[in-house]
Amino acid sequence: MEETSRQSRPSTSSIGDVVCLPEVYLNAPSLHITPLVWAITLVVMVAVLLADLLIIGRRPHEPSIKESTIWVSIYVGLALLFGLGLWFTSGATFAGEFYAGWLTEYSLSVDNLFVFVIIMSRFAVPRHLQQEVLLVGIILALVMRGGFIAAGSALISQFSWVFYIFGAFLVYTAINFARQGEPEEDDFKENIVIRWVRRAVPFSRDFDGAKLTTTDTMGKRLFTPMLVVMVAIGTTDLIFALDSIPAIFGVTKEPYLVFTANVFALMGLRQLYFLLGGLLDRLVYLNIGLAFVLGFIGVKLVLEALADNNLPFINGGEHISWAPHIPIWLSLTVILGTLLVATIASLAKSARDKRKERELTAVGS
């Protein structure tokens, strides 16, 4: 990996014509990734997924806190080492972009866990089978996000106005995050795909291990509730990908960094699910923290698009000089600081609530 400079390409003020990336990105150093590096990355990713499949397939179980802690620590350590490798081979800027993207995707992945918990509870998935459900969900998320990354990279390389759309979408998502708070089980509504599967497919009443199909006492082939769970997880992954991909493109435009940040954020998600357990209920301010992060990245994208504007109906197609470029070190500081504050405030509030509950119990007795 090495730094090279992108050649400037003329932009056009016509929306119908191809509009290239803003000048700030054209003149910025680019991360050159050879096909060999891409191939090695994909091989390693597939190998890790296969190892996970073999471990679960040979011994389906509910991981202990110790086991989950070890695996989460390994995945976090690998992400930190990968960032250091980028630092030494490609410079601090790209390492900072990776860390900012990874932190953003990791925090959004933790938010995914709230919905996964609700889905597992709603469909009464046995604890020893939840690992397989989560692994399938992670694989689906990687595939979907890979498609979104490819599409997003193609769009931003051709049309600079996509930054306006990404930025506005993130601000809108941030407002929804702040308003809704953490999802509750009563908030979960079966989407149209789940309802259609329920109507169109014959189901058994009980799970048969992790199998998608089983046979009843009459020998009739039926699908198990596991199919509905997989559909629910897959459609949830699709919705979350719509949030996460614009968010990470707000901190880096390098497809390799976008992809690897998503991989590292998702790889340890299965173990993190069991590690956090009841702690998820205590992260009461996580959504507010995520709302601030998404809003910050959305505003950052819009400001950078304004700084190199070429849309004819905005400022006559001219650049807007007052719009600042937010450096990656500031983005990383804001993201990390916000998540730390949200986590500490959540745990502090949870501790206060428990103390008050004990005091009320003591008074009542």
Question: Which residues, including other chains, have CB under 8 Å from residue 129's CB and lie 6 or more apart?
Answer: 60, 207, 209, 210, 226
Residue spans of the domains in the chain: they are: 93-181+193-353
| Cα angle 276-339-65, degrees, rounded to a multiple of 5 | 15
The phi, psi pair for 213, rounded to 5°, reads -130, 160
- Give the DSSP letter string of 266-324: HHTHHHHHHHHGGGGGG-TTHHHHHHHHHHHHHHHHHHHHHHT---TTSGGG---TTPP
Q: Angle 255-267/130-158 helices, nearest 10 degrees?
A: 170
The rounded distance, in Å, linking the Cα atoms of 297 and 170 is: 7
The residue assigned the tokens 């995945």 is 75
pLDDT at 10: 35
State the angle between helix axes of 192-200 and 225-249 in degrees (0 to 180), rounded to the nearest 10: 160
The pLDDT of residue 185? 56
pTM: 0.77
Check if the beta carbon of residue 250 is closer than 8 Å to that of residue 167.
Answer: yes
265 touches 168 (CB < 8 A): no
End-to-end CA distance of the chain: 67
Whole-angstrom CA distances from 49 to 16, 56, 62, 209, 214 are 43, 11, 18, 20, 26
- What string of pLDDT tens digits covers the 365 residues of the chain? 444 433 333 333 333 333 344 444 444 567 788 889 889 988 988 887 777 767 665 666 677 778 888 888 888 999 999 999 999 988 899 999 999 999 988 888 877 777 787 888 888 888 778 877 887 888 888 888 888 888 888 887 777 678 888 888 888 888 887 877 665 555 567 778 778 877 888 888 788 777 888 887 777 888 888 888 888 888 877 777 777 888 888 888 888 999 999 888 888 787 888 877 666 667 788 888 888 998 999 898 888 878 777 777 776 767 777 778 788 888 889 988 998 998 899 888 888 888 887 777 777 66
pLDDT at 365: 64
Cα Rg of the chain, angstroms: 23
Distance CA 244, CA 104 (A): 8
The secondary structure of residue 185, as a DSSP letter, is: G
